[in-house]
Amino acid sequence: MPSSPSLRGVNYDVFLSFRGADTRKNIISHLHKELLRQGIRTFKDDRTLEMGDCVPRRLREAIKTSRFAIVVISKNYGTSSWCLEELRMIMKLELDKKIVVIPVFYDVDISDVRNHRRSFALIYHHQSPKIPSWKEALQRIANTQATESRKCKDDATMVEGVVERVSNMLLSMLPMDIGDIVGMEAHMQQIEHLLDMDFTTNEVRMVGIWGMVGIGKTTIAKNFYEKHKHHFKTHHCFMEGVSSLKKHGPLFLQKQLLSNILGKEDFKSLSLGQGATCIQSRLVNLKSLIVIDDVDDVKQLDALAKEASWFGSGSRIIITTQDKSLLNSSCAVYKVEYVKDDKALQIFQRIAFQGAKPPIVYKDLSISISELAQGLPFALEAFGVYLRGKSVVEWRDALKSFEEALPENIMMELRSSYDGLDKPGRRAFLHVACLFNGEPVRRVRKLLGQGKDGMRVLEEKSLIRVSADGRIAMHCLLEQMGKQIVRQDSDNSPAHQRILWHHHDIRQVLANKTETLTVLPLKGDFEFPRFPNKPSFSTSAIYLTSFSPLSPQLLLTLAAPIPLNPSAADSTISEQTVALATVVTNVLNTSAAASSKP
């Protein structure tokens, strides 16, 4: 799902980039008319005269304040230095995730654009130092998912498809403006209390909105920002998705903050140390509202809002993050909880049926799918958008598919949390997802040999919760993601999985007497009792008795022996019975050999 543009206001939904001489009176005319008909705010430059490669300020601002750029590449697009400079700006914003680019190749071959052939070879005729960056922009747009007129039935069909694509992506970008259905007013009241929005004192207040990925932190922060920014004159800034801008470094963020709060001043000459000093000296006398969204590195906060004393009296600072440990002691914490079942169903149905009353035939399926999301707003939205307009049969197929594997967009969104962990953290996460969800946290700490720190890190990063009775609770979609990661890493081969949890896979591995497992070893002190010779049970299955460091040969632990005889009653092999299972390869022989050494 595309992200909405970051770190600046939005004036237009779409900016049209095109070569006027080629397309103004045909495809652009039709495209512009259809975009407006659909209520999509569109910027189209009506000037017919292009002079040099200096794009006017008016156009630069329009590009920077648009969500999408539809770039229509026609035969003579590359002959215009104006068009090429527009494209360079657009692709730079796209690289920074500030705009979504939709290319349309109109009666041209994409390979000609990519390789600068035919009319696009004329780029070398320009007398400009910008030629290398123009070439790069052409190559990048040629490698972007695009619409090709030569593959469309006619221009009308092509225009319809492009506008529909924009319309659908705009819908998916919209914050879930569903009022009390998602309890937004309750969120507002609690955050307003934490930030003292009655301004009973002149203190600077900071609050961290904390919760797992997709739980609605950004949506809550946006609602608060839009509701209260008028209290701060022009001194307000919503810095969206700062984690995605990490590659640019903290100085980039500092310049963006100063620019947004103070206006169009030039801060290019600032160094990192000067940036922090400048924020303190320039903002200390201003009452500001600043939202720093999706923080995942303490360096980002140190650069932007290390101390409340940096900001003027009455300032309000909001930070959204998945990682509670990043929030300092001066920052109040607001924990975002899952949406309750009845409200979750309403959210899902509103998105799936676009506000219309759901047909009765979809009732049970709607309940099942909303329950699968387990109160996670992002998943409710993703499921709803995916299923919108589909038949009952398609809904049934989708539900079955969702239960087996997460859709790619949900997997990618959730995986960002896993990818941010260090190696021990990933190991702990996968074991919890595959084996220990719902288990007592003290027992899991002992098994994994990580003490309190391992589980605390997962909890601080919103990957698990610990219930009042001391049990681990991981969201079902995070659990499913963890299992998908294990399967994918082994190319879906149980024999090469790091962890086995399903009784069918364990039975298969034991039956095949596989000796090539790569399962991560748990830590513990295990005894290896002899099993009676029962043909229906594996003699390599063992009982778990006590714990200390294991040898590498012990790859997985079985809480109960696995019947290999197909006629054995499956009731003895339920997933509950095999809650903690281990396959041991040659461990008895290895232990015996070791004990016989002098």
Q: Report the alpha-carbon distance of residue 42 to residue 66 in Å, rounded.
A: 9
DSSP conformational letter for 473: E
Q: Report the alpha-carbon distance of residue 338 to residue 340 in Å, rounded.
A: 6
Q: What burial letters (b/e) apply to 350-380, b meaning 16+ CB within 10 Å?
A: bbbbeeeeeeeebeebbeebbebbbbbbbbb
Q: Which two tokens stand for residue 519?
A: 């399962």
Q: Report the alpha-carbon distance of residue 150 to residue 290 in Å, rounded.
A: 48
The amino acid at residue 468 is A
Assess contact for 107 and 150: CB atoms under 8 A: yes
What are the residue numbers of the active site? 86
Q: What burial letters (b/e) apply to 446-460, b meaning 16+ CB within 10 Å?
A: bbbbbeeebbbbbbb
Q: With 0-12 CB in 10 A as exposed, 13-18 as middle and 19+ as buried, what is 129?
A: exposed
* CB count in 10 Å sphere of residue 209: 25
Query: Locate tokens 């290895």: which residue?
Result: 590
Q: Which two tokens stand for residue 220?
A: 């809550």
- Kindly report the CA angle at 217 between 419 and 304, in degrees rounded to 5? 80
CB under 8 Å to 329, separation ≥6 — which residues?
none
Of the candidates 101, 79, 80, the residue with the CA atom closest to the CA atom of residue 89: 101
Of the candidates 437, 458, 373, 367, the residue with the CA atom closest to the CA atom of residue 410: 373
CB under 8 Å to 143, separation ≥6 — which residues?
114
